[in-house]
Amino acid sequence: MIEETKAVSEGIMQNTEAAKSIAAAIAMGLGAIGPGLGIGILASKAMEAIGRNPEATSKIQTAMILAIAFTEAIAIYALVVALIIKFV
Amino acid sequence: MQISLTPESIVKFGDFSVTNTVLMTVVISALIIISSVIVGKRAKHKKTKHKPKGLHHISEVVLELLLDLADSITGNREQSKKFFPYVATIFIFVILSNWIELVPGLGTVGVYQMHHGERELIPFIRSNSADLNMTLAIALVSVVMAQIMGISALGLKKYGKKFLVSPLKKPYFVGTFVGLLEIISEFAKIVSFSFRLFGNIFAGEVLLTVMLMLVPYFIPLPFLFLELFVGFVQAMVFAMLTLVFFKMATEEAH
């Protein structure tokens, strides 16, 4: 079993196209975990605040969208790294 | 279907290559300039209280919405009028550049040219926010403008005191450290601005190209709507973030 895994991974490392694809996939996949959790927490707190005080909805909404754009930017950095690995 | 991180050049004048994003920038700038000239002329001709129609009406609505948005962040009409021209220009320019990738012909209408020995199709339409040069340029200008606004509102000494806190006063050495961190965060702002816009729009273009290649009819519709929404949100985020940095730069330190 170990011999086969070694052979497969050696084969992947020899072939640069395969290594690039795997690297790009791992970069994007791992990079999406953090922002996903972050946006979930943000949105849930915003919903709570709106439920508690429906009059301040538009203020909370504006601030929430701004904060979500900030956290989403982190996922975009991961995406740019994945694209650079794959296409450059 | 080729996807390249850098924009492809169509014509070369010596060392300066006119890429397809430069072409799109020229088209968008011409659009903005011509419509502002038309609306400006019609706004001046207001003899009686006639209702504005067409382009004039839309421009008034958009500008009023932006001014109210600016008010909700700064809270002060005077200040938002000072910041408004630059921020509204960024918003209008960026949203038009983001939306130009929805025009039919993305990646398909172009010329065949020899690049690196191969005959490739150089598309004409490529959103100019998908060009790191442009996003970096706008980010640099925004951050430098924030510094200038801060200096003009507070004066050079007071503004410098935010970054270079002397280690002999109250928060000893921690204050100096925080000041240095503030300088580093200014550079981080440049990087984050440019990459946020570039990443979003470039990823959207790649998504659209792949989707249109796989199933050309009906299925790309939700992705086109997604790109419409993302383009709007990114433009709004860029403009609002610039506004927030202006406001933070012009207020006193604590």
Alpha-carbon Rg of chain A, whole angstroms? 20
Structure confidence at residue A44 as a pLDDT band (50, 70, 90): very high
Least confident of A11-15, A76-80, B46-50, B79-83: B46-50
Q: Give the distance from residue B44's alpha carbon to the nearest chain A alpha carbon, in angstroms.
A: 35
Under 8 Å between Cβ of A60 and A68:
no
Q: Are the Cβ atoms of A65 and B237 closer than 8 angstroms?
A: yes
Of A66, A79, A87, Cβ closest to residue B4: A87
Q: Which two tokens stand for residue B241?
A: 């973030």
Which of the following CATH numbers is that of domain A2-87: 3.40.50.1580, 3.40.640.10, 1.10.1040.50, 1.20.20.10?
Answer: 1.20.20.10
Higher pLDDT, A52 or A88: A52
ipTM > 0.90 for the complex: no
Q: Are the Cβ atoms of A65 and B234 closer than 8 angstroms?
A: no
pLDDT of residue B253: 64
Residue B3 lies in a domain: no
Domain total of chain B: 1
- Phi, psi values for residue B52, rounded to 5°: -75, 145
Residue B106 lies in a domain: yes
pLDDT at A36 over 90: yes
Q: Give the distance from residue A80's alpha carbon to the nearest chain B alpha carbon, in angstroms.
A: 6
DSSP-assigned states of every residue in chain A: -HHHHHHHHHHHHH-HHHHHHHHHHHHHHHHTHHHHHHHHHHHHHHHHHHHH-GGGHHHHHHHHHHHHHHHHHHHHHHHHHHHHHHH-
Measured distance CA(B97)–CA(B239) in Å, rounded:
14
**B5 touching A, CB under 8 A?**
yes
**Which secondary structure element, helix H or strand E, spans residue B230, and what is its range?**
helix B221-250
pLDDT of residue B235: 92
pLDDT of residue A54: 92
Structure confidence at residue A29 as a pLDDT band (50, 70, 90): very high
Of A62, A72, A88, Cβ closest to residue B5: A88
Residue B97 lies in a domain: yes
Q: Which two tokens stand for residue B201?
A: 């729009």
Residue B79 lies in a domain: yes
pLDDT of residue A35: 95
Taking only the tens place, the pLDDT of each residue in B8-65 is 888 888 888 888 889 889 999 999 999 888 888 877 776 656 677 777 888 888 888 8
> Which residues of chain B fall below pLDDT 70?
1, 46-50, 167-171, 253-254
Range of the domain at B142: 9-250
Alpha-carbon Rg of chain B, whole angstroms? 22
Residue B213 lies in a domain: yes
Q: Give the global pTM.
A: 0.85
Residue B241 lies in a domain: yes
Residue B4 lies in a domain: no
Residue to test with chain A: of B91, B193, B200, most A Cβ within 10 A: B200
Structure confidence at residue A34 as a pLDDT band (50, 70, 90): very high
Residue B1 lies in a domain: no
Domain boundaries, given as residue ranges, for chain A:
2-87
Rounded mean pLDDT, A29-52: 95
**B202 touching A, CB under 8 A?**
yes
Instruction: Please enumerate residues of A whose Cβ is less than 8 A from a Cβ of B.
Output: 59, 62, 65-66, 69, 72-73, 76-77, 79-80, 83-84, 87-88
pLDDT of residue B1: 66
Cβ burial, residue A50 (10 Å; 0-12/13-18/19+): middle
Structure confidence at residue A42 as a pLDDT band (50, 70, 90): very high
Closest CA in chain A for residue B3: A87
pLDDT of residue B48: 55
